[in-house]
Each structure stands twice: as structure tokens, then as C-alpha cells.
Structure 1
Amino acid sequence: MLIYSFGLATATIVEKQLGTQAAKMLIYYSPLFILLQLLLAINFLIILFNSNYIKSKRWGLIIIHLSLTVILGGALTTFLFGKEGQVHIREGEKSDQMVMHTSKGVKTEKLPFVLELKDFRLNRYPGSNSPSSYESTLLVYVDNDIREVSVFMNNVLDLKGYRFFQASYDKDELGTVLSVNKDVAGRTITYTGYILLLIGFILMFLMPGSRFRKLGEQLKDIRARADKLTLVFLLSLISLNGFSQNNWNETKHTIDIIESIKDNAIPVEHAEKFGALPVQFRGRVMPLNTFSSEILRKIHNETNIYNLNSDQFLLSLLVNPEKWSHAKIISGDQSYLSYNQFFDEGGSYSLLNQLQQIYNQPADKRNESEKDLIKLDEKVNILYQLFTHIIPGIFPHAEDPSHTWYNLGDNLSVYEFKDSVFITDSFNNYLAEVRLSLQSNDWSKPDEILNSIKEYQLSNDKASLIRPDKIEAELKYNRLNIFNYSKLGYFILGGLLLILAFIRLMNRKTWLQYASTILIIGIAAIFIYHLFGMGMRWYISGYAPWSNSYETMVYVAWATVLAGFIFGRKNILTLSLATLFGGVILFVSSLNWMDPQINTLVPVLNSPWLMFHVAVIVAAYGFFGISFLLGLTNIIIMSFNKDSSLIALRIKELSVINNMSLLTGLALMTIGTFLGAVWANESWGRYWGWDPKETWALITIIVYSVVTHLHLVKKWNSDWLFNFTSVLGFSSVLMTYLGVNYFLSGMHSYGQTDTSSSVFVYIAIVFTIIVILGFLSYNRRSKFIDS
């Protein structure tokens, strides 16, 4: 299994350097690799009969491993007998040819029917160029009959054993590309394997005599014995260092501008009304408060500036563009820059030549400094669009078929004369009245104009894009700042519970039990508040809130605390560590390189499979995180504690909980990965494409399978090795979730982040310390063997 995982990891590097086809030929589909998979299956079958698992009725274990053998058999059947290709058709044309790319070159196969493309439609999100779906209407000539069918993302055409999926389209939107798959036998065998796998995992958790149930019984016995002993722990003082923000030197001119901006700050009350105005941006209608928050975070990497909130900032910028163009608000590499610094006296853009050179080379060849320059250009461009009133879209066009909203800087000739006059006058008058109100402090006139703009929006919103209930919910969501408060709550209550957990190991006084209960109730309240925040985000966006890296991290934090509650019943140390880890994950999600904005979904993600696949697989990360913390705790105790005779049982207790958590995480990870395979097969006709994200998910399954099977080898059956490998195994999770996006490339772009390389430096430092602790604890491991 280790050789297999090493081969998979090597293949992802080969793919990065030489391409997907080279990785498939050299490793994935090589005879040696296929032989290795066959040996794994044969090895299990031999062990199955030699170890009398059938006589001992270990049905969960038997079915899980048999299912994996069946899945491998299905994959082999697909590889040997399955067919995969493409059909390209232009509107009004017919085709009965499937083009297949094989190791021997390109070949075509005649289909037993004819397809004609009647119409192709590319639907976009309102007011944007982002596709929401694409659909082909086909006429099928088969068996002396003509049928009209539609093929679109997540809607498959099944015909005589062939399955057609919407894969792509021509740039002029007059042609379609359909992927074709014929694999009846392979699909039947593989799906049978998936069903058996699910049944096996259910039996593993429920059947008496299963390893999971035996671990539970073992845990009860250990706790009963441990309660009779007085355990003494050395408590370590953990201090949290706050972060300090670097200040920058500013010229006298800039200081004067800042003071002027502060003196003319928009009152919070009116800014709040301004922030409630619905606007259209990136294909979504949102309150202007959301837009202003995203823009300020994008430009300045902060949620406020000069003591102004995002709504005050945006309205002030629109009212006083000259002052803001001189203010240093654009976050650069080491300092803040002003908009005017990017233009010379003649108005020429200073980054133009460099950007032209960068865009003339492939995206994967750009270095970090060039990528940073592109981001800097994007910030300057956003300010330009704000100064020229291009974004956001404020005024709906009642007759626009794409439901686009316009702003003052757009071409208003698309409107009737009276509408274009209203748009120009209302917006300019509003800004003028705001300037006057800053002097008079009477905001009745700007309020009145805002109301007239809202009335215009409602009367011209023929597509009913304005949902007052969702606008209000989003404003509330922004105002509550749920995940930030959840983060603070997890840190405070988790830290206090951790201290009490250590004290309770030394002392069993009643007041400690009551204090722990109060803290647990508090953590439960924050946990529900965290869940409420995810529910609000789901309601606002209309889809499950785990479609990008920010959302999945928020979900992982929640799943980690959930895992803590599940196993915290057995030991409050587990819950305290899980709670702290949930706070750490939420802290990472709030860093500048994470984007918390709510986006529209790309077509392939607009599927119910997103909810199930991602929810299950990311929940597994939470249980792996619990095991990481428990394993690390045991390694630290082994490294520094001297009273080994008294603490051995406590190490054993945490080790058993660690094992149960790992088995739960492994079950979820395996089920979630194969749910993804079903999603892929139902959406574009293949279970597995050896995409780096998929491959590393499989590597993670194998790594944790190795960790949970170490006890089968007598000389490796030790608490030290199990805990140490459970800690090291978490590196495969980090690689799957973060490293693939940064070091490799693949199709799972929806999960990618602009991850800073410094994050991996910190991760490397942490694991270096862990390895050192591993050596320290290795030398003392014999003192903690529970006799």
C-alpha cells in the first residue's frame, strides 16, 4: 500500500512536468501498476481465508474489502472494454461518428444512430459573462424514429448503451461538444462495489464484534481502570501572541488627505441605508453593503479604513474621488500605494508594458512576482471602474433579455430617453446632495433620492432578481459577522475547557465537573451559532455552502467541533482540542488570501451531488484533525512526562479514541471520494480522471488505511507508532486540500485558492517540530507500554 501511494504521488509530479497523458502511460495505466493493484486484491483474498474471518463472522470487514476488490474489477472491466470519446456537431448538421483518443492515436467509431444539433444555448448569470448552464437540443435518428432530446450539464442522454454528456461548446456558440461513454458492464460492476462499500461501513459501526465496537468496549475498560488512579500532569503555559499590524510612513500631503476624509465622514446611519441598496455584480444581485465589503477587502485587505466602514468608504469615494485618488489605500507587496502613483503626468499607465509581457506568456509559466503584479493591476482597475461609475450595476433594464443592470458610466443609450435622464439625474443629484448634507447635517434629501432609486429598481426588475427577504438576510449575515465571533468563542471556551481537562486529570472535585458542563454548554451554543451562519449562507446563495475554499474551511471547522462532541463524551480533552482546532481553522479562513464572497456556481457544480460529495469528504477532514491533535497530545506527553507508570492508561485511552476517530474519518473519506466518482460519471461520463485532487484524495485514503492497519503487524503494534503516524498522516490531508492547488494543477479549480507560500513554510516548521518530538518520544516509548 505504501508503494502504491508513493507511485500515485510520483504520478502527480510527472503529470505536472510532462502532462496527463504521460502520467497515464508511464504510471497509472502501466502494466506494473495494474499488477500492483491486482496483487493488493489477491493479498486480501488470501488473508480472508487464512485468518478465518468468515468463520468468525467479521461481515463488516469482509464486505468492505470485498467491495474494494469488486471496484477494482469494475475499473479493470472499464479499462479493457469501455469506450470513451467525443462527438462534435454544428447547428443544423448531423453526425454518427465518435472520435476516440487512444494510446495508438486518434480513431473513429460509427454510432448505431445519427445525431443532429437543432439548437445550442449558452445561458449566463444576469448581467455577467459567467455561464450558468449550456444545453444542446438534439434530434436523434434511431430505429426508423426521430426523437427530440436535451443534453445539458448533469442531464445525460442514454441511448443503446451509449451515454452522452454536455462537455463543451464552440466559441461562436453555434456548435456543441458531447463526451460519449459506453461502459455498461464496468458501470454495473463498479456501482455494485460502491453499494457493498456503503453496507460494509454501516456494519463496521453497528455490528457487535467489529473493530470499531471492540475499540469502544476497550475504551470503557481503560476508563474504568484509569479512574482508580491519581494522574499527575505537568501543565504547560500556552501564551497566544497577538498580531501587530505594520504601520507605514506617510507624507504630509497624505496625512492631510486622511484628516480631510475623516472630518467629512458619512454618518453611519445614512451609510447603512446606502448599503441596503440592491446592486448587481458578477451575475448576482446583492445589497450594496456586500459589494462595498468585497471591494474594500480586495483593494485594502481590510474590512475598514481610516475608521470608516465599507459603506462609508464607498460612498465617500464616490463623493470625493479626487481626495481618494491621492490616498494610499491600494495594498502592495510591502506598503500601500495611491491610485495616482500608477499614472504619470501624461496619464500613461506605468504597469502597461510589464503587463503586456506577462499576458503574452502562458498562465502556468508566470512566477509569483508576475502574479502579484496582475493582482495589483486588478486593484487599480477596480478603483478605475468605481471612479468612472462602471460598477456596480444599480439600474435594471426592463427590456434587456440578459437582465443586465447598468450604472452611470455605462452606455445608457440602451434605455429610453426618460429612463436615461432619470438615471443620470438621480445618481448625480444624490452625490451632490450627499456633499451638501456633509455641511448641513440634514440627510433627508439623500434619503429621499435613495428611496426613488429603489422604487425605480423594483418597477423595472422584470426578472424578479430583487428578493427583499434575501437582501435583508444578507445584510443581517454581514452585520452578525458570525464566523468571526464563532472563532473567538471557540478559542476562549476551548482554551478554558483544555485547562479544566488537565486539572481534572489531577483532581475529581465536583465543582470541576460543573464548570466543565457550563463550558460545554457554551461551546454547544457557539456550535449552533456556527451552524446558523452556514444555514444563512446557504439560504442567501441558494446552494450548499461548501463550493469554494473559504466555505469548505468554515465547514471543516464545524465538522471538527462536531467530531469533538461525538468523541468528547468519552474524554473532554478531545472536545477541548477539537474546539481549539475549530477556532484555528476559522482563523485561517479569515486570512487575507481566503475569499469569503458569495459567488455564482459554475455549471458542473450546480448539482445535488455537490452537497453530498463535498459534505461527506470534508467532514472526514474534521475527524482526521481530531486524530492529529490526539496523536500530537500523546507524543508530547511521551516526550516530556516522567511519571510513566501512572500516565500509561491515559495515553491508551486517548489512543483508542484516536483510533475510533480515524476509522470514522476513513469511512467518510472513502465514501465521499466514491460519491465524487459517481458524480463524475453521472455528469461527464467517467468515474476517475486521475486529476491530482482525485489522486491525492486516494493517497489520503491509503495513508490512513496504513495507519489503521499497523496493529496487524505484531512488531508495529504500539501506541507510539500509531499516534506518531496518525500525526504524520495529516500531511496528506493538507496536501489534498491546499498543496494540490499550489504545487500541482488540475480540473478542481473551484477549490483553488491564492494560497500564500508562507503558509507552507509554517506547515513545514510545524511538522519539523513534530518529527523532533517523534524522536524524543521514541526514546521513551517503552516507559509507556500498558501492561
Structure 2
Amino acid sequence: MKNLFSSSATTVIMLCVYAIVLAIATIIEKFYGTAIAKAEVYHAPWFLFYQGTLVLHLIFVLVVKHCRRYVKLGMLIVHCAFIVILIGALVSFLTGEEGILHLREGETGNRLVMLDGGQRTEHELPFAIELKNFELSRYPGSSSPSSYESVLVIHKDGESRSEHISMNNVLDIQGYRFFQASYDEDEQGTVLSVNHDIAGRYITYSGYFLLATGFLIVFLSGKSRFSRLRHRLKRLYSGRTIAFLFFLHLSTFAFADISDLSDIVRRHAVSPSHAKKFAALPMQSPNGRVMPISTFSSELLRKLHKSTEVKGINSDQFLLSVLLMPDVWMRLPFISLPGEDICGRYGLSGGYCAYTDLFTDDGSYKLQKDLERIYRKKVPERSLLDKDVLKLDERINLFHQLLNRQLLSIFPLDNAQSNKWYAPGDDLSLFIGKDSMFVSKIFDWYLDEVRQSILNHNQTEADRVLDMIVAYQNAKASAGLISSEKLEAECRYNALQPFRLCRIGYLLLGGALLLTLFGIRSDRRCWGNILHYVLLGLALAVFHLHMYGMGMRWYISGHAPWSNSYETMVYVAWAIVLAGLLFARRNVLSFALSLLFAGVILFVAGLNWMDPEITPLVPVLKSPWLMFHVAVIVAAYGFFGISWLIGMSNMVLFIITGHKSRRPERMLQIEELSILNEMSLWVGLALMTVGTFLGAVWANETWGRYWGWDPKETWALITILVYAVVTHVHLLKCDSSLWLFNVLSVWAFASVLMTYFGVNYFLNGMHAYGYNEGAGDMMVYGGVLAGVCVLFTVFSYIRWKKTDVVADTEYEIKKLKIEK
């Protein structure tokens, strides 16, 4: 019984059961609500008992293993940290208090409302709080909240003092921590969440500190497993594995040209030089951000046509062309159709339709009846065709607004409190005096001059009128709203398209590097080595371009560029290449695979359902914790991605292993890659764990609790558990442990995909800032990928079991000689 309770197999089984229970709990929450999930699982006595058993088991294992000197200092501290964190969670659960304080302006209260298991109770605070004023600020020209804060007066022991509380700005009074949670619709009241958990907070934070310290020792100590893996890798033969040529076809994704416009549009296109000048004109987006028109035109054509170019006409020329020749564009079939079923339903063909194709001869909108039927349905009941109809309707409405000049918000209203800008097609009655005359006439004048410039090939007058609009903007816009430096930087960013270039570079260089690895293996001539190093140098140049693009996006937006789905995918690609670089010295194959994987990720990021728009942050994300938490988490995804690639590579090597004379060399290659795989997993697991608990600290500083069993939080924990199991597989004494480790490193990546994509698509929660409706398309790719992984797993296992005894003996002898 003692051996069973202290065995590594028991640890692996208990962690697997824990992860499965958590996954089931998130599904329960999806269908039955948070209250049921907490009552039946998270706060249920049996679940607390299981967690307590897991802690006791972990303590017992540590005592037994440490007494036998199996556990080194770093890992001992890491495991002890988890015990401390779980103890802190138990203390918080038993002694902590959470509640809500709702106040209206001018109201004073001290009754804390708490909900526990559906029961409403009240608790009297040892002081009173008065809401003096609630303030909500919005982004300029937008209804989106930028921040909200409450001006409070604290009445305590006969004294009063004023305090401010806002999102990410906590008010601490006698151990009670107040957080700006929400506000009333009329903006006359505030909702504060309150947390009282002194003991639990300090115990938990101590566990977080121990965790970071432990991982630091693991990577720096010369006696840790990570260090032993590093030394084993030095002793092993640095073999070259065969290049996987089937990856190379991915490079063709970098080139696509799907467009067809008539000759009349090309003949009357605005000159690129003037289109560039027009594209630099500032405008206000619907969310209030001031940006150059080039950003808007690119996003517009991308949404309408699924491309940023149309047969030699770029997005800036397209925008001007529509404004100059609306009748022509209304009849051109360039609006992309979202699905094939749409064509049959409305008599369309060719994958594109014209604006006029969706209207009958009497002017009736063909989609109207279907839209009325769809909107009467509940969202979960809508079919795929229904969703395609809604997408097409969105594109038609967008083009309709463009035809009516309602999208180009280029005129700031003088002295407007909201800093709102107006488009030429908007109601301009708010403008008075000379301003009214200017904004009502200038745009038509400008378009007339552009038409003349096309005919006489002289754009001087068009440039002059455009300069007048710019002068008006600078005179009327609120101070600091227009930054010429940032606008110029954004124009350069749009023209450069750095991540598109990186996508092409990573795919081509990754494929070429694999080819040279294969070639150098069979031909050791000097030219092969020179080409090899040239490709490495070019790959480094593309990597620096990737960093430059991220830096430009950071400068333009004013915040770290990983706040939505598109940005995090760009950062994941960068982290994967960085992880490959760290291992490139030991094994260039891992670097080549990381380039290909990064290229594929940037290709996915460039798909039309991904939104590359630079947007302002929602209030909760306006925190320095965003940069640290997301950066560390996504860096972990990069290392997990490298492990997935290496695991797939090893499964291919298992499959292609042939004659027994080749087996010793193949096995050494597999072991070399397996060591790199485990080292990458350890780095990823450390980053994932630290990043998750950094998020817990952020949550505690924002919402007043460091763990709320939100689906995103829960799946982050599941990912940690899954990779903890994978990194402990080597402790299982079985004949197939090497094969099992590589296979699990591949399948474990599914938990990363679920955490990153699946939670947003399948589940609900508070972490939906980066949600993208097109994430559902990723499930199709995921299904295909899962099928490939199943085939690789089955065939690699079959080949692994067909082991030649003589070959195994040769491998063991060769390995022993190398290690000596």
C-alpha cells in the first residue's frame, strides 16, 4: 500500500483524473451555469476531499523521494510551492469573504451583500462608504468605455476621507479590498466587489514566490534534470533527420491573387502617388481611434473582397474609385460570398456578387425575408446557411454605407465633448458658420479635382484641396488627438505588411533549410555548408523583421501587441521561432521546423476571418499585468508548439525506420530529438505555470479574487496538469516509454488549442477579449490535424513494436560507446 501511494504511476493517474474532472466541470458550467458547476464540482465536498488527497499524496511522495535523494532542491521547492498554493486556496475558501456593495450617487452604505450557494446574506462593514460621484469616460467619438471610476468618501471612527477607485486600482481598508466591478445603466450608480482574505492571500502569494524560485533553481542548477538532459544532449551524436517535404507545399499559401475587375476601373484608377497621399489622411474609426485612411481601406477591402488588392489596384485606389464611380462598382461582382449554399439560394455564381445582384427590379432586398426569419431564431438554433446570410448582409450594409459616404469620419466637430468626428454623408447640422460651409462642400470639391487629375494627369489641385482638409483637422481636432508621428508610422506599417513578409520568409526558408539539412547529410561539400549558413542568416533577418513589426504595432496602439486573437497569434509565431533559435545550436532541425510552424501560424493569422484591426483596450486590460501575464503564457505556447513539432518528427522516424542496419542511427536521432522535446516541455511548463499564476495575481488586483474557476482559468490549469503528466512519463518504467512520451507531447498540444481557441468558441467566461467568430473555422482544421495525428500514432506504434532484437543490441552498444 505504501509503495502504491508513493509510486509515480499513482501520481500520473491522479493528475489525469483531476484534469478530466476539471474539463467535465467546464462543460457542466456551459450547459447548466456557473452556480451548478460550483455546487456540484468546484465547491463540492468530494472535490475538496480529492484535492486534499492529492496534496497528501504529493507530500508523501516528496518525503519518500527526498529521503532516497531522488528529488533535487529545485523540484522540491516547485512541488512544495503547489502544496502551499493549494493550502492558501483552502484557507481562502474557509475564511475568505466575497460580496457586492451597490451604491447610488449621494448614498452611504455599509451592508455587504454576499451570495453563497444561491443564498443571499448580508454582512455589516466596520465603516461606511459614500458614493460622491461616478465617472465614466469613453474613447473619443465612441460609445465604448475607456475607464470608469468612483469617487468615494470613507466614514470611519468619526473621520472622513476621500478615495478614488477604478478598474485595476484597488481600495484597501482594514483588510477589505474594493474593486470597481460594474456600474448602473444610467451611470448614476456603482457596483463594487469586495474581498476580505488576508491570511489566504499571503499564503497563496508565498506559494507563487516559491514556485518562481523553484523553477529558477531548476534551470540554473547543475544537478537538476534539465541540466542532465543538456549534458546528455552534448554526448549524443548530433544526427540529421530526414526533411519532411510534405511541409513544403505550405509555402504556396503565401501567394494568392483572387480578383477580377473590369478594364474601365483600371483605366480610371487614381495614381498611386495621390492614393498614397489620400491614404495618409487621418480619420476616426467607429471605436474612436484616430488612424490613417490606409488602415481603413485595407480592412474594408479585406472584409468585402477577402483581399487587400484587386488586379493591380490597391485598397487606397479602390476606396477612391468607389467614391468616384459608385455606379460602376454597384454593378461589379467583387463582394465575396461567404458560402456555396448562398449561390443556389439567390441565383448567384462565381464566388462573388455585385451589390445590385441582391436587389430586385422594384428595389426589394432579396435577403430581407430570410433576415427576419433568422433574427426570430435563438442564436444556437441558427444554421450554417443562416450565419452565411448574416455575413453577406453585413458586407452589403458595409458597402451601402460606403456608397453613402458614411464611413469616412474625417471632420472633427469643434469643441465637441465627445471628440466625435463626422463623415461627409453624416448629418452635418451640428457644424455652424464657416465650418458648416467647409464640411458640406470640401469633399465634393476634392472628388471633382481627383477626377480632373485622372484626365489631365496633373494632381496638383487635388493635393491642394487635400491639404486644406488636413489643415482643418489640425485646427479643429482636440489637442493631442492627432499624432503625425504615429500616423506616419502606421502608414509605413500598412505599406510594409511585415507579417505577410514574415509568413512568406518563414515558409520558404524553413522548407529550404530542411532541404539543405537533407542535402548536407548526403553531401558534405563546402557549398552545402555555405548555403546552410546563408539560410540561417536570412531566417534571423526575417525574425528581426517580425520583431520590428511587433514593435511598430506596439508604438501605434500604445499597448503591448497581444490583446486580441490576431496579435496573440503573431506573438505565438514569434515565440515559436525564438524557442527554435534557443535549440538551434544543438539541433538545426528544430529551428527549421519552428520556421515552418511559425509560417503556418502567420498564414492562419492572415486568413480573412481573423481581424488585424488595431483597437483600443477594454478597461480591464488597461493594466501592466497584461504585458507580463499574456507575454509569459503565449511564450509557453511557443515552446509547446516546438514540442509538438518534435513529437511529430519522432513519430515519422518511428514509421520510416527500416532495415536493422539503419536502426541504431535512427534510434540515436530519436533520442536526441526526445531530449530536445523534454527540454522544450520543461521550459514551456515553467512559463505556463508562472504565467497562469501571474494571471491569478492580476485577477486578484482587478476582481478581488485570484481564482474563480472561469473556463479560461480552468483550462489553463488543465494544460499545466497535462504537460506535468507528459514530463513525468519518464518515471514510468515501461518498454514503450520513449514512444509514449513523444506521442503524448503531440496530443498534449490539444489542451493548448482548447485553452486558446476552444474556450472562446465552445465555452463562456470573463476572458473573451480576444474572441473571434471565425474561430469556428479553426475546428475544421483541428479535425483534419487530429486525423493526421491519429494515423501517425497508430502507424508509429505498430512500427515501434516491430523491433529487431539484433538492431536494438547494436543501438545499445553504440549509445554506450558515445556516452562513455
Same fold by TM-score greater than 0.5: yes
CA distance in 2, matches of 1:554, 1:434: 38
Question: Quick check: 1:164–1:180 contact (8 Å CA) kept in 2?
Answer: yes
Match of residue 340, structure 1, among 347, 356, 371? 356
Question: Quick check: 1:234–1:641 contact (8 Å CA) kept in 2?
Answer: no
Matches within 5 A, 1:303-452: 303-332=308-337, 333-334=339-340, 335-360=351-376, 362-452=378-468
1:240 aligns with 2:288: no
1:544 aligns with 2:560: yes
Report the equivalent of 1:735: 754
Report the equivalent of 1:140: 154
**Larger deviation, residues 526-535 vs 644-653:** 644-653
Report the equivalent of 2:19: 5
1:707 aligns with 2:710: no
Q: Which string of whole-angstrom CA distances, capped at 9 and with x for unpartnered residues, describes residues 455-494 of structure 1?
A: 1111112332110000100000011111111111111111
Q: Which string of whole-angstrom CA distances, capped at 9 and with x for unpartnered residues, describes residues 655-700 of structure 1?
A: 0010000000000011111111111110111112222221111111
Report the equivalent of 1:725: 744
SS of the residue 2:334 aligns to: strand
Instruction: Give, as a single letter, the amino acid of the residue that structure 1 aligns with 2:540.
Output: A
Sort the Cα spacing of 1:34 and 1:40 in 2 relative to 1 into closer, same or farther, 3 A: same
Question: Quick check: 1:235–1:502 contact (8 Å CA) kept in 2?
Answer: no
CA distance in 1, matches of 2:531, 2:499: 25
Q: Which string of whole-angstrom CA distances, capped at 9 and with x for unpartnered residues, describes residues 27-50 of structure 1?
A: 222222222211221111111111
Matches within 5 A, 1:160-559: 160-223=174-237, 240=249, 242=252, 258-281=262-285, 282-332=287-337, 333-334=339-340, 335-360=351-376, 362-559=378-575
SS of the residue 1:750 aligns to: coil
CA distance in 2, matches of 1:388, 1:268: 24
Q: Which string of whole-angstrom CA distances, capped at 9 and with x for unpartnered residues, describes residues 40-82 of structure 1?
A: 2111111111112685671100110010011111111111111
Instruction: Give, as a single letter, the amino acid of the residue that structure 2 aligns with 1:240.
Output: H
**Residue 367 of structure 1: CA displacement?**
4.1
Question: Quick check: 1:205–1:212 contact (8 Å CA) kept in 2?
Answer: yes
Instruction: Give, as a single letter, the amino acid of the residue that structure 2 aligns with 1:371.
Output: K
Question: Quick check: 1:60–1:201 contact (8 Å CA) kept in 2?
Answer: yes
SS of the residue 1:483 aligns to: helix
Question: Quick check: 1:710–1:717 contact (8 Å CA) kept in 2?
Answer: no
Q: Which string of whole-angstrom CA distances, capped at 9 and with x for unpartnered residues, describes residues 198-250 of structure 1?
A: 00000010012111001111111213xx67xxx895975665174697989x9
Q: List gaps (5 residues or longer) in structure 1.
A: none
Question: Quick check: 2:493–2:549 contact (8 Å CA) kept in 1?
Answer: yes
1:127 aligns with 2:152: no
**Larger deviation, residues 371-380 vs 502-511:** 502-511
CA distance in 1, matches of 2:534, 2:386: 52
Match of residue 773, structure 2, among 749, 754, 773? 754
**Larger deviation, residues 605-614 vs 406-415:** 406-415
**Residue 555 of structure 1: CA displacement?**
0.5
SS of the residue 2:111 aligns to: strand
1:655 aligns with 2:674: yes
CA distance in 2, matches of 1:488, 1:451: 37
CA distance in 2, matches of 1:294, 1:748: 25
Root mean square deviation, CA, Å: 2.1
1:30 aligns with 2:44: yes
Q: Which string of whole-angstrom CA distances, capped at 9 and with x for unpartnered residues, describes residues 588-640 of structure 1?
A: 11111111111111111111111101100001111011111111111101111
CA distance in 2, matches of 1:271, 1:548: 30
Sort the Cα spacing of 1:349 and 1:392 in 2 relative to 1 into closer, same or farther, 3 A: same
Sort the Cα spacing of 1:520 and 1:128 in 2 relative to 1 into closer, same or farther, 3 A: same
Sort the Cα spacing of 1:699 and 1:114 in 2 relative to 1 into closer, same or farther, 3 A: same
Q: Count residues in correspondence.
A: 775
Question: Quick check: 1:545–1:551 contact (8 Å CA) kept in 2?
Answer: yes
CA distance in 2, matches of 1:368, 1:747: 26
Report the equivalent of 1:109: 123
Report the equivalent of 1:570: 586
SS of the residue 1:610 aligns to: helix
Sort the Cα spacing of 1:578 and 1:235 in 2 relative to 1 into closer, same or farther, 3 A: closer
Sort the Cα spacing of 1:235 and 1:342 in 2 relative to 1 into closer, same or farther, 3 A: closer
Q: TM-score, normalised by structure 2?
A: 0.91
**Larger deviation, residues 762-771 vs 454-463:** 762-771
Sort the Cα spacing of 1:187 and 1:523 in 2 relative to 1 into closer, same or farther, 3 A: same
**Residue 327 of structure 1: CA displacement?**
2.1
CA distance in 1, matches of 2:548, 2:646: 28
SS of the residue 2:429 aligns to: helix
SS of the residue 1:415 aligns to: coil
**Larger deviation, residues 480-489 vs 297-306:** 297-306
CA distance in 2, matches of 1:716, 1:685: 49
Sort the Cα spacing of 1:557 and 1:62 in 2 relative to 1 into closer, same or farther, 3 A: same
Q: Which string of whole-angstrom CA distances, capped at 9 and with x for unpartnered residues, describes residues 323-382 of structure 1?
A: 222222322223322223344455444434443444455545544433333332222222
Percent identity (aligned)? 49
Q: TM-score, normalised by structure 1?
A: 0.95
CA distance in 2, matches of 1:552, 1:646: 39
Q: Which string of whole-angstrom CA distances, capped at 9 and with x for unpartnered residues, describes residues 72-118 of structure 1?
A: 11111111111111111111112111111111511111111111111
